[in-house]
Each structure stands twice: as C-alpha cells, then as structure tokens.
Structure 1
C-alpha cells in the first residue's frame, strides 16, 4: 500500500515538473519572438553613423502602421548640422520639401501613393551632407501619419538612459570625427639615405667578402694538404 502511494506521488511530481518545464519553454519562446518584434516596431535609420564633413544616404524604414492602421506619410524633420539634403525620388511616394530662412531643407514629407499595409515594410531615403561642425549626434524626429491616427517618433534618451526603453524614440545618427593625416613627413636625408651609412655598408660588405675569401682559401689549402698526404700514403703502400 505504501509502495503504491509513493509511486503515485512520484508520478504526480514528475508530471508537475514536466508541465512547469513546458510552460517555461513556451514562455521563453514567446518572449524571444516578442523582443525582436518590439525592437523592429520603431522607425529606424540606416546607417546609424556618418563621418563629419562627409556625405551619405540615409534610409528611414518602418514595418508597422499606427495601431495596425496603414501608413500614409512620413514627415522627417532635419536637425541642425546638415550642409545639404536631397530626398530620393521614388515612384511609391510623392515628396514635399520645406525650407528654412537660410534656404536649407528643414523638413521632408513623403506621402505614399498607396497606403502601406501594416504587415509590409516601407522605406524612404535622402542624401545628406555634413560639415566640419556637425554635432556628435543627429536626431531626426519623424511623424508617421496613418489612415487612422498618427505616431510622433520624437523622444530622445537622456544621459545614461537606454534609447530602447523609450516608447517612441526619434531615429538618431551618430557622427564620427573626420580622420586626420597622422603620419609625419620624412626628411630628404631619410628618403635619400645617409651617404655615410652607405659607405659603412659598403665597407661592411667588403670586409665580409674578404673574410669569406680568406676562409675559402684556407679551406682549399687544407684540402690540398690532405690530398697530398693521401697520395704519399698510397704510394708507400704500393712500394
């Protein structure tokens, strides 16, 4: 009776452990799938790094609408520090350009010819130029307008704050310092070589050649003496 009871308790514990393990695996799988989905839910920019004083093409992409509503337009506001902006023509979008008092592009609005469904990826691009005084980071606030509603991707992380923790972060491009020419100029003496060094090298080569000749001569003399001794011994044996 006791043996049967123990077997029953053991079976129940094993079943409970299996259920717990299964629930953990399922939960982990759901979380693993949910995290990438959450990370890709933002309007992103690529590349996310440029070099000061250089030019580059920025692509703003998204793979969702506003609460599952199709996207109709993206308005990208330009930060200070850009010397030029040239939106890329695309048959899927019409382009509206706003300029500031300085004549530079201040905002670009891309309007979809056909609203982009929630399950499809949409992307727009533009060429930008950076000057030498461009700050270390450039934030591009984006307003995503949909058939129903809109989302403002304008939040910026504070110092020490994780940008991924924000609900609606603005796309940010980091700016690397321009590379400088760090190698120094070589002197004419270094490029042409020091004549004194050449003479020393020639002297060293001459000394080495003389030493080699002396060594070879001594070796030949030893070999000749040895041959003479062998010949004398052979002659004596014959006699």
Structure 2
C-alpha cells in the first residue's frame, strides 16, 4: 500500500472519528426541561439545564418565557443566579431571567428551576422559549416540531412539557365518608347488624320462657 493511500485512509478515519464525537454533541446541544411530563391540575418543579455555551462561549443568562396555561410560577432562589421576574397585565409571571453570578463555562452543566402550577384547562403541550445569552453571542431556543417532525432534528428546539389528563381520584377513598351513613356502608337496606342487642334479646327471651315454665309448674302443684 502506497504512502499516499495510507495518508488518505488515516485522514478519513480521523475525520470519521471527529464526526462521530461531534454529531452526538451537536444533537445534545440544547436547553432541556425535567420533568417533561405533568398532569393537568398538577404542581411541580421544572428544572431547565444546559451543558454548553453559544459557540463555546460561557453562558451569562437564561431568559425563559412562560406559556399560556400556567396558574402559578415561582422561581427557585439560587446563590449562583440573580433572578428578574416580568409580569403581564394580569399579574401572572410572563418571563423569568436568570443571570449567572459568574459565567458558566462550556464544559460545565448549568441549571435553573422554578415551581409551576397547572389548572384543569392547561393545554396538552407547554412550550418554554429560552434565550441563552453568552459572553459572546446568544442562542434562541424557540423552535417547535410540527406534527410528525422529530424535535431532535431541529437546530434550536424549545423545551416542551407534555400535559396529560388530570389524575382520577383514588378509588380507595370511596366509602370512607361519614360512618353514620349506614346506607352507604351496608348497601340498599341501610341497616347494620349489631351483635350485642341480638344477644341481649335472645337472653331476655330465654329468661321469659323460663319464668313461664316456673309459673305453669307452680300452678299445677297448687291444683
């Protein structure tokens, strides 16, 4: 094999190895949210994380825009971030900006969080557009996948939380109401069998019969 062919093959192998490492890194280069599933009417803490900057520039801030359908938003206090809250005309939180006390290097993971509340009318999908600002440049994570489109194929996908139906009430609570509701506890008759009155009644009947027998015997003796 000639030296030229060897050099060509070597260059190809090195290039392939670089692409094998770079492609997964590029695919994972986005702002993610956890958990990414909630139920209507639920409350929970959402964590937005990232592990890169803008073209390898350290991250200085994240601005997260709130979608319609949130009943409440409460950013989590964190000594690594300064927090600025924007509110809409309705008084609800419309956007939250987290500014890093020190820029987050591209080889470290950064994360911010907030408590959110959903109501029964929350839509089936909540999209949180994020603007990631860096020492040099910025990235807007706001793309939303169309029907049938893979969100992982988007260049800058927005974090999305899927909202399921409200959880049904625990069936184990059924029948645990007022203990005096005997109709609910004992079926259609609405009566409860109590052993003590039955025993006392039987004892009284036996005593009465015994007294009757004694009286009959006494009368016959006098006769």
TM-score by length of 2: 0.70
Equivalent of 1:114 in 102, 105, 113: 102
Instruction: After TM superposition, give the deviation of residue 152 of structure 1 in Å.
Output: 0.3
Q: Tell me, yes or no, if structure 1 residue 155 matches structure 2 residue 143.
A: yes
Distance 1:132 1:30, change over 3 A: same
Looking at structure 1, the residues matched to 56 and 168 of structure 2 have their Cα atoms a distance apart, in angstroms, of 48
1:28 CA displacement: 7.2
Corresponding residue for residue 69 of structure 2: 81
* Structure 2 residue 170 is the aligned partner of structure 1 residue 172: no
Aligned to 1:57: 45
Post-superposition Cα deviations, 1:21-40, rounded to whole Å, max 9, x if no partner, equal x9998777655544432232
Structure 2 alignment gaps of length 5 or more = 176-183, 194-223
Deviation digits for residues 92-139 of structure 1 (CA, Å, limit 9, x no counterpart): 100000000000000000000001111111100000000000000100
Residue in 2 aligned with 1:227?
none
Structure 1 residue 132 and structure 2 residue 130: aligned?
Answer: no
Question: 2:90 is matched with which residue: 91, 102, 112?
Answer: 102
Counterpart-to-counterpart distance in 2, 1:110 and 1:182: 39
Cα distance in 2 between the residues matched to 1:145 and 1:44: 16
1:191-224 Cα deviation digits (max 9, x unpaired): 99xx9xxxxxxxxxxxxxxxxxxxxxxxxxxxxx
| SS across alignment from 2:187 | helix
Of 145, 161, 174, which aligns to 2:133?
Answer: 145
SS at match of 2:148: coil
Matches of 2:189 and 2:77 in 1, distance apart? 52
Q: Unpaired segments of 5 or more residues in structure 1? A: 1-11, 196-239
C-alpha distance 31-74 of structure 1, shift in aligned 2 (>3 A): same
Paired position in structure 2 for 1:92: 80
Counterpart position of 2:202: none
Name the TM-score, length of structure 1 as normaliser: 0.65
What SS is found at the alignment partner of 1:37? helix
RMSD over aligned Cα, in angstroms? 3.2
- Cα separation, 2, equivalents of 1:52 and 1:32: 40
Distance in 1, matches of 2:187 and 2:98, equals 61
Larger Rg: 1
CA offsets 1:119-168 (integer angstroms, 9 cap, x no match): 11110000000000000010000000011110000001111111111100
The structure with more helix, counted as a fraction of residues: 1
Deviation at 1:179, TM superposition (A): 1.7
Distance apart, 1:189 and its partner CA = 3.4
Query: How far 1:190 sits from its partner (Å)?
Result: 8.3
Alpha-carbon distance in 2 for matches of 1:84, 1:67: 34
